[in-house]
Amino acid sequence: MTTVPDKVAEGVGSWLQRSMPLVALMLLVLLFSLLSPRFLSIDNLANIAVQSSHIGLIAIGMTLVIATGGIDLSVGSVLALSICVAGLAMAPADAGGAGLSHVTGWCIGLATGALAGAVNGWLISGLGLSPFIATLGMMSIARGVANVLTDGMPVEDLPEAALALGSSSIAGMPWSVLLWAGIATLGGLVLGWTRLGRYACAMGSNEEALRLSGVRIGPWKTALYVLSGLLSAAAGLIFLGRVSNAQPSAGVGFELDAIAAVVIGGASLMGGRGSMSGTVVGVVLMGVLRNGLVLMDVSAFWQQLVIGVVVVVAVLLDRWRSA
């Protein structure tokens, strides 16, 4: 016999399980607003959103890939390659560029990211490499190509318009945050409501069953890695505006931030499960941590420690949740 209080407790319990990352984020926000009077200002919240937006975009693609039980370690290098190619396309001729318009340059950058993703997809579903190995290879290849193209030097003198996505706002809203919000919503729809999203989760929980039900897995999986590459390039266009030049050394370690955000958000690295809203919360949570710790005058060493602990706790919670 279940009584009404039991049912309520059960309901609260399952809500809590699903919303664990959000609850953690809320507690953190509460803690920081108690400890620093400046934390909860509009300026500061906007600041956190802008800072998180490029990792936010990468993490959307990462969520889709991780849902399949895969991983994309190449995102940071693909970001660097995409902005270097875009930078060379947009920089004026006397600075060694092609002098194309900024929109053309952006499109070339996005195409570069998508192409790198397509190569990842082909290595994985065409040649049967494990996602870890294939994208580890791409991580080095994309970085190498970026360094070769730019001779290891940042591409400078980009037109001001080329930096808009990372440095300007429309009606008080930063472009980067709008892009992130829009694409995260789209990503959520793709994951929850489209065949691509359903197949992604199905690949992660039982790829063989999906194959036996007559689905040709290769093209679908490749599409997911193309999306991941494309989103890395889009993140790069924001990044470009943040740092004002296209650096071949950009994005080192971004894969780890993105993976951590996805895991904090409740996805399983074994695949089969992922939540776009959870990922957004995971990205914001890391942004809030980095911001709040600086606001509290916590030095850099402790920040590393705290962020590491949060990732481990998130994975432990994940195990507890799926047990």
Which positions touch other proteins (CB under 8 A)? Answer: 12, 15-16, 22-23, 26-27, 29-30, 33-34, 36-38, 40-41, 43-44, 47, 50-51, 54, 151-154, 156, 167, 239, 242-245, 247, 249-250, 252-253, 290-291, 294-295, 297-301, 304
HEC string for the chain: CCCHHHHHHHHHHHHHHHCHHHHHHHHHHHHHHHHCCCCCCHHHHHHHHHHHHHHHHHHHHHHHHHHCCCCCCCHHHHHHHHHHHHHHHHCCHHHCCCCCCHHHHHHHHHHHHHHHHHHHHHHHHHCCCCHHHHHHHHHHHHHHHHHHHHCCCCECCCCHHHHHHHHCEECCEEHHHHHHHHHHHHHHHHHHHCHHHHHHHHHHHHHHHHHHCCCCHHHHHHHHHHHHHHHHHHHHHHHHHHHCCECCCCCCCHHHHHHHHHHHCCCCCCCCCCCHHHHHHHHHHHHHHHHHHHHCCCCHHHHHHHHHHHHHHHHHHHHHHHC
Measured on CA atoms in the order 136, 217, 279, 79, is the torsion positive or negative?
A: positive
Closest distance of CB 285 from other proteins, Å: 14
Closest distance of CB 16 from other proteins, Å: 6
| CB contact set of 316 (below 8 Å; sequence gap of 6+) | none
Name the token pair of 182: 């829009």
Q: Which is nearer to other proteins, 77 or 222 (CB)?
A: 77
Q: Which is nearer to other proteins, 104 or 249 (CB)?
A: 249
Q: Which is nearer to other proteins, 107 or 156 (CB)?
A: 156
Closest distance of CB 239 from other proteins, Å: 6
Closest distance of CB 77 from other proteins, Å: 12
Q: Which is nearer to other proteins, 29 or 184 (CB)?
A: 29
Residue that is written with structure tokens 């943040």 in the block: 242
Name the token pair of 258: 């993105």
Task: Return the closest-CA partner of residue 134 out of 122, 142, 145, 123.
Answer: 123
Closest distance of CB 164 from other proteins, Å: 14
Q: Which is nearer to other proteins, 15 or 195 (CB)?
A: 15
Q: Which is nearer to other proteins, 129 or 156 (CB)?
A: 156
Closest distance of CB 62 from other proteins, Å: 17
Closest distance of CB 217 from other proteins, Å: 36
Q: Which is nearer to other proteins, 60 or 210 (CB)?
A: 60
Closest distance of CB 308 from other proteins, Å: 11
Q: Which is nearer to other proteins, 61 or 166 (CB)?
A: 166
